[in-house]
Structures are given as C-alpha cells and as structure tokens.
Structure 1
Amino acid sequence: MSGRPVAKMITFPGATGVELAARLDLPDGAPRAYALFAHCFTCSKDSLAATRIGRELTGRGFAVLRFDFTGLGGSTGDFANTDFSSNIADLVAAAHWLRTEHRAPSVLIGHSLGGAAVLAAAAQMPEAVAVVTIGAPFEPAHIKHLLAPALPALAEHGEAEIDLAGRRFRIRRQLLDDLDRSNNTDSIGHLRKALLVMHSPRDSTVNIDNARQIYDTAKHPKSFVSLDDADHLLTRKIDAQYVAEVLGAWASRYLPEHESARAPEPGIGGADTEVVAGVRVAGVPGAPFAQSIAVGRHRLCADEPVAVG
C-alpha cells in the first residue's frame, strides 16, 4: 500500500446489465473487513452521509464499497424503470463484484431506504455477519408519503414527474406497486446476522417508531443506538463521524478477521500450544494435567479429576 488510504473508481454490471458506478475506499494495510454501503432514496454514493461514513470507516481499517443505484449518480439506466426490487438486485450485484474481485462484504450498511434494502438483500449475502441500518423505514412503502404529490398523475397516466430534495425525477406506477408488494417483516425476523439499528429521535422523514419496529422484529444479537439530535440525512459532520465510530467498534465484535488478529493470551500461542481447526490448547506451567483452551474469544480451563491429580 502507499501508506495512506486509496480510492478506486470502478464500474460493474448491475442486475439488468446497466453499468453501475462505484467507489471502493481501501485502508492503509490489509482491510479488517469489507463493507457495502447502500445510499438513501434518490441520493448517490457521494451524498454527505455516504462519503463521510465511508471515509471514517476506511480510516478505521475497513474497505468500503459505495455505489450508485441504477439511474442515479454516475450509474447508467433510467431511474423511472427502477423500484425497490431493482435496488435489492443492484445490492446483490455489488456484493458479487466484491466477492469476485476482492472479498465478499462482511458488513452491510444502509441509509434510509438503503437500510430497508440491505435488510431485504442480506439473505443473499451469506458471508455478511453484520447489518447496520441508519434512519431506515420498517417497511419500504413508508416512502410513499414522499411521492404523494405525484399520485394523481400516476393513477391517470401511469407515470409522473416529482420534485425530491430540489431535483426532478420521473417515476412510474411500477414503483408504487412494488413498494406495496414489498414486506420486510420476514427478512428482519429471519436475518440470522448481527443487527445494529441507528436512528435519531428527531428524524422528521422516517419516524423513530420505525427503528422500534425493526428492533422488535429482529432476533438477537441486535443493538440500538440513538443518534440524538441528528437529522435524517446526517448533514452534520459530527453525526456521520459518530455513526462510523460506533459502527466500527460494534462490528468488530462479529468479525472473524478481528478475532484472528487478536494477540494470544498468556499460555496461548507458545511452543507448547497445539492448534486444531481454530481451537488452541496449551499446557499450564506447574499443573501437569491442566490445559488452557481458546476457542475464538472464549477462554476456559480443563483438568483431570481430582483423584488423578
């Protein structure tokens, strides 16, 4: 490596064959893990939240891939032809590219509707061990309130233009229909990955009750972190930094790469240590029958019965 983080601008084929634009930020040295970031609805990989969180995580040793969904940012394709299901397919394509070119993502991160997308897509990324949602809706259909001004035209003509965050977008009825069909309850309940739910109680776009529903539906291991007075888009740098700091520390607990880098405890790893399939067994000085055993982050002692010595 060059002694500092490296950014690579790349493209890869999306689910429908269009070229998706992406940025891969690599840390100085071997990555602790690879993370895949899904941006918010009609945003891009270069949004303030995606950029700041990605860079902060890279500074903490993570490689982070963030990309533009079909028809947004630098990606090709027509946004009007996309829907929630196509977002899921794009995420799966991004994970496939990482798996093929580098290493499959261990951590999935989604902001707003991107959070709902990673929850829905996680089952198709078996290597991922941790999922993080930031200001995410419990159900994808939650975003329909943002599309309310276009509903009459959609009902009459099947498509409409709408202003979102000061930009014009063309949408079609298929987006609404797909949102109505999408249900994340089963995906969350059968996630089988560690989950971190991050949400601000002052979020005026996606009410914090969505975080409660996600958390209540998920099974352990699961965690919730309040983002206090942050806004939905995390426009303040300090909020994005906080998200990355907490996220990085939390995810480390679930990363096998992190465990393999741990320094051995006293008596574990010396010349008298036997390693079998990830289990380390070492003798204990002064106790001829005792053994110190390490299995991942678990430590225990074993000995013969008292009658034996």
Structure 2
Amino acid sequence: MRERFVYFMHKGERIVGTLHIPDRMPAPAVIFCHGFDGNRIGDHRFWVYLGRELCKRGFIVLRFDFRGCGESDGSSESVTISGEMSDLKAAISWLQDKVEILEDRIGVVGHSLGGVVAILTAAEDERIKAVCTISSPSSTKIHENAAKNILKVNIEEFMEKGYLDLPSGGRVWRNFMVDALKHDILGSVAKISPRPILIVHGTEDEIVPVSHAEELFDRAGEPKEKLLVQGANHSFNQWDKYWLVVDHVARWLEENLR
C-alpha cells in the first residue's frame, strides 16, 4: 500500500488531499467527504484510520479538504453546500483521470454535512455508484434549528450580522445558510436508487438526532441499508463504536463496489 499527498486545481484554487493506493490495481475507489468546518484527517483521525483500513481491503481512497477547509485554498466565508458539491465532482474527475479505477466503480462516504454533499451530488452525478452517510441530517433546516435552539441565536440578528461564531471556534457565514436552504436532501436521496445507500447513525447523536437517519432511510429507494449504533455520538469517538462502523462500512463497500 502507498499513501501520498496530492492536490488538484478547481476554479483557480488548490484542493489538497491524501491518496491511498492498494497493492493490487486497478481497484474500486472511495472518496471521503468531511463535515462542516472539518478536514480530511477528522476528529480523532476518523478519516485516516478508515482510509487505511479500506486500502488494506483493496480500495483506492481519496480523502480531501473542501475549499475553505483544512489545507485547501479558499476562505471559510466562501464555504457553501453548492461549492462542496462542485468540489466533489472535481475530485471524481481528477481521480478518474489520474488513477486506474476498476470499471469506474466509485463510492462516496460522507460524515455529517459531508453526507449531505454526497447525497445531493449522487442525485445529479451517476459516476457515483454507492453512497454511505454517517451522522447526516435529512434537512438543511437543522442548521437554523441548531442556531435557534442550541446556541440561542436570534436568526434575524445573525442574518444582519452576517456570521455566527460556534463553540468549536468555527464560524457559520450567512451565505452558507442562504445556500443551504436551497437544497432538498430527502428529494435527492430518493433519486439515488437503484444505486445502493448505507445510512449510519448513532442513537445518542447530540447534534443530528437519530430521527434524521430514519427519515433518510424511509425516503431512499432500494437497495438500502441502515446501521443504528447504540450509544454512539455524532463523531463516533468511542473506539469500540468507531471500529464497529469501520468494519461495517468496509464490508458494505466490498459487497457493493466489487
């Protein structure tokens, strides 16, 4: 196995990533989409360990930083769901051009907002042959609801100010919220079939309630699968639960991308 730093240009900005290449090529490929204000490493190296495990099992893996995140170019103020969808499509094109993929078999795994990006993009782009979401919301309204109910923010004041500072140290900008409300996640998840989808969620998710996973699953067409992990939180930072998810996602991809 090999692991190397890569980058590609998109709309005049550099997108940075890490590419995992298995010993046996050609191989099916998996692209990771990190969550809001995240990066290609992830909390507690979420994406690093998952990428290495999938590579061990014979998958090409690309994990990259969306523009405005991690080491990629761009500012956090410019981050939108539409922009991240464009980044994902560019990543697919770059991967197809640079790496020998087995029969164009490409899957996408997304965490939280990254799962939303995966769903919305797959609904438009049939190059994506399989989708896995982890801790992902079924509605972009969750950002507005969280601002109101969890952070006790007056939405009118937020829209006038132009941004919202998060406890994590990140910042949500007005243009992100305006763009987010344009997207229909449930309508998009219904368009993925007959391509397979796996929906993973923790029952104790403190940010995106598990009811969102139920809504996604109900609207998705076949073939579909749901994994609810008892006691797991939003970021799956409990090791036993994290590795349960890693193994399940890996086996599901082996069944659906081989």
- TM above 0.5, yes or no, is yes
TM-score (norm 1): 0.75
**Which of these residues, 13, 30, 49, is aligned with residue 25 of structure 2?**
30
Distance (whole Å) between structure 2 residues aligned to residue 28 and residue 238 of structure 1: 28
CA deviations 1:260-287 (Å, max 9, x no partner) are: xxxxxxxxxxxxxxxxxxxxxxxxxxxx
Aligned match of 2:208: 206
**Which of these residues, 15, 23, 40, is aligned with residue 45 of structure 1?**
40
Amino acid at match of 1:178: D
Does 1:17 find its partner at 2:18? no
SS of 1:229 mapped into structure 2: coil
TM-score (norm 2): 0.89
| Equivalent residues in 2 for 1:50-199, closer than 5 Å | 50-102=47-99, 103=101, 104=104, 106-148=106-148, 149=151, 151-157=155-161, 159-165=162-168, 167-169=169-171, 171-192=172-193, 193-199=195-201
Shift of 1:128: 2.5
Aligned match of 1:289: none
- 8 Å CA contact 1:107–1:131 kept in 2: the answer is yes
Shift of 1:115: 0.5
Amino acid at match of 1:189: A
Q: CA 1:127/1:168 → structure 2, altered by over 3 Å: closer, same or farther?
A: closer
Amino acid at match of 2:70: G
Q: What root-mean-square deviation, in Å, do the aligned CA atoms of Structure 1 and Structure 2 show?
A: 1.9
**Which of these residues, 7, 15, 26, is aligned with residue 3 of structure 2?**
7
Aligned match of 1:227: 229
Q: CA 1:219/1:79 → structure 2, altered by over 3 Å: closer, same or farther?
A: same
- 8 Å CA contact 2:123–2:189 kept in 1: the answer is no
Q: How many residues get paired?
A: 248
| Equivalent residues in 2 for 1:216-295, closer than 5 Å | 216-255=218-257, 258=258
SS of 1:35 mapped into structure 2: strand
Identity of aligned residues (%): 26
Shift of 1:125: 3.5
Amino acid at match of 2:23: D
- 8 Å CA contact 1:36–1:105 kept in 2: the answer is no
Distance (whole Å) between structure 2 residues aligned to residue 21 and residue 63 of structure 1: 16
SS of 2:243 mapped into structure 1: helix
CA deviations 1:107-137 (Å, max 9, x no partner) are: 1101011001100001343233211010110
- 8 Å CA contact 1:31–1:61 kept in 2: the answer is no
- 8 Å CA contact 2:186–2:219 kept in 1: the answer is yes
Distance (whole Å) between structure 2 residues aligned to residue 56 and residue 164 of structure 1: 32
Distance (whole Å) between structure 1 residues aligned to residue 21 and residue 141 of structure 2: 35
Distance (whole Å) between structure 1 residues aligned to residue 23 and residue 39 of structure 2: 25
CA deviations 1:186-208 (Å, max 9, x no partner) are: 21111121011111111111101
For structure 2, list consecutive stretches of 5 or more residues without a partner in the other structure.
Answer: none
Shift of 1:84: 1.1
CA deviations 1:119-177 (Å, max 9, x no partner) are: 000134323321101011011231234444564543223x2251242x243x4321111
Q: CA 1:177/1:36 → structure 2, altered by over 3 Å: closer, same or farther?
A: same
Of residues 106-115 and 136-145 in structure 1, the stretch that sits farther from structure 2 once superposed is: 136-145
Aligned match of 1:298: none
For structure 1, list consecutive stretches of 5 or more residues without a partner in the other structure.
Answer: 259-309
- 8 Å CA contact 1:230–1:239 kept in 2: the answer is yes
Distance (whole Å) between structure 2 residues aligned to residue 51 and residue 236 of structure 1: 16
- 8 Å CA contact 2:143–2:177 kept in 1: the answer is no
Shift of 1:183: 0.9
The higher-RCO structure (CA 8 Å, 6+ apart) is 2
